Amino acid sequence: MDWSAFFELHKDLPREGPGRPEDVAWALGVAGVKPGARILDAGCGPGADIQALLLATAPGGHVTAVDAHAPFIEQAAKRWGRDSRVTLTTGDMRAAEGPFDVIWCAGALYFLGLRDGLDAMRGKLAPGGTLVFSELVFRVPEPSEPVRCTLTKEYPAIGTTHRLNGIIEAEGFEIVAQKMLPRASWEAYYGPMDQRIARLRPGADAALAAVLDEGAAEAALWRAHNEEFGYALSVLRAR
Ligand SMILES: C[S@@+](CC[C@H](N)C(=O)[O-])C[C@H]1O[C@@H](n2cnc3c(N)ncnc32)[C@H](O)[C@@H]1O
């Protein structure tokens, strides 16, 4: 992977994975999160979920948003850099200092490995706190070959929701609620990415063209096979 070409595609996108404000509102609503909550947005990317997190915990909510990729934090800072309700940090989510009443982790826990990620986040939760994370899963026991081959190459540890829930429970969490992210949440990611691919395509060099092809193929796979895989959004409480 040519990382500079990868970030040429991904720079300035509104978000870096599927999700919408409605998903944040649903998760924090079912968890009964209170105004004034201390929130960690772990792997926040460009900060797409910060506004919904603040809305769901107003008045008095505070978001600590952490991402390992400095340009994403710079992008988030354009909107949130002067807001006292938000602290932006470039770094590893495992280094964030809790405790937090809510940990929100959209499409980022898998970077740590699911078990290690759950373990690391549990240690940062305040008593009675809520961990919400989204994770790519197979929705069927036997996905078709293009789905299985492509996704296991990108994410070898991918499994079914049943397997995901087994790991969650083995790591000492209760599942308060869980749902698959709807199509609209995926389009909130792929729609702007389609537009950026079309804009970058003319004049792209070989490395960028390869990254654009990969992005387009990823979106095409999801649109053709979204009944076979998706993002499970899980709302958890430590037992
Ligand atoms: C798929 S993106 C999702 C970003 C954002 N949550 C969103 O939905 O737009 C995953 C993010 O996790 C970040 N990341 C990966 N490992 C990380 C770590 N150990 N600590 C902090 N951020 C990390 C990446 O830089 C990337 O921005």
Domain residues of the chain, as ranges? Answer: 15-183+226-238
What is each CA distance from 87 to 42, 131, 132, in whole angstroms? 12, 19, 19
Residue 2 has pLDDT above 90, yes or no: no
What is each CA distance from 142 to 54, 138, 154, 168, 200, in whole angstroms? 40, 8, 18, 22, 36
What residue owns the CA closest to ligand 1's atom 16?
111
Residue 80 has pLDDT above 90, yes or no: yes
Ligand 1 near 48 CB (within 6 A): yes
Ligand 1 near 92 CB (within 6 A): yes
Ligand 1 near 72 CB (within 6 A): yes
Give the separation between CA 189 and CA 144, rounded to whole angstroms: 24
CA of 13 to the centre of ligand 1 (A): 14
Residue 95 has pLDDT above 90, yes or no: yes
CA of 33 to the centre of ligand 1 (A): 23
Q: Are 71 and 94 in contact (CB under 8 A)?
A: no
Q: Are 183 and 226 in contact (CB under 8 A)?
A: yes
Strand partners, 234: 133, 178
Ligand 1 near 135 CB (within 6 A): no
According to CATH, what is the number of the domain 15-183+226-238? 3.40.50.150
Rg (Cα) of the chain, in Å, rounded? 18
Give the separation between CA 190 and CA 184, rounded to whole angstroms: 10
Mean pLDDT of 80-91: 98
pTM of the full predicted structure?
A: 0.97
Q: Is the peptide bond prior to 99 cis by the omega test (within 30 degrees of 0)?
A: yes
Mean pLDDT of 69-85: 97
pLDDT tens profile 193-219: 999 999 999 999 999 999 999 999 999
CA of 17 to the centre of ligand 1 (A): 9
Mean pLDDT of 47-57: 98
Q: What is the pLDDT of residue 56?
A: 97
Ligand 1 near 15 CB (within 6 A): yes
Top mutation candidate among 11, 20, 23, 44 for ligand 1, by most atoms within 8 Å of CB? 44
Q: What is the pLDDT of residue 1?
A: 77
Residue 35 has pLDDT above 80, yes or no: yes
Q: Which of 29, 54, 50 shows the shortest CA–CA distance to 41?
A: 50
Top mutation candidate among 11, 23, 111 for ligand 1, by most atoms within 8 Å of CB? 111
Mean pLDDT of 19-23: 98
Ligand 1 near 105 CB (within 6 A): no
Ligand 1 near 6 CB (within 6 A): no
What is each CA distance from 147 to 36, 204, 225, 236, in whole angstroms? 42, 28, 7, 28
CA atoms lying within 13 Å on the CB side of residue 220:
9
Q: Tokens 């826990």 label which residue?
A: 109
CA of 88 to the centre of ligand 1 (A): 13
Q: Tokens 């105004």 label which residue?
A: 35
Q: Which of 45, 225, 216, 19 shows the shortest CA–CA distance to 132?
A: 19
Give the separation between CA 22 and CA 81, rounded to whole angstroms: 24
Give the separation between CA 161 and CA 143, rounded to whole angstroms: 13
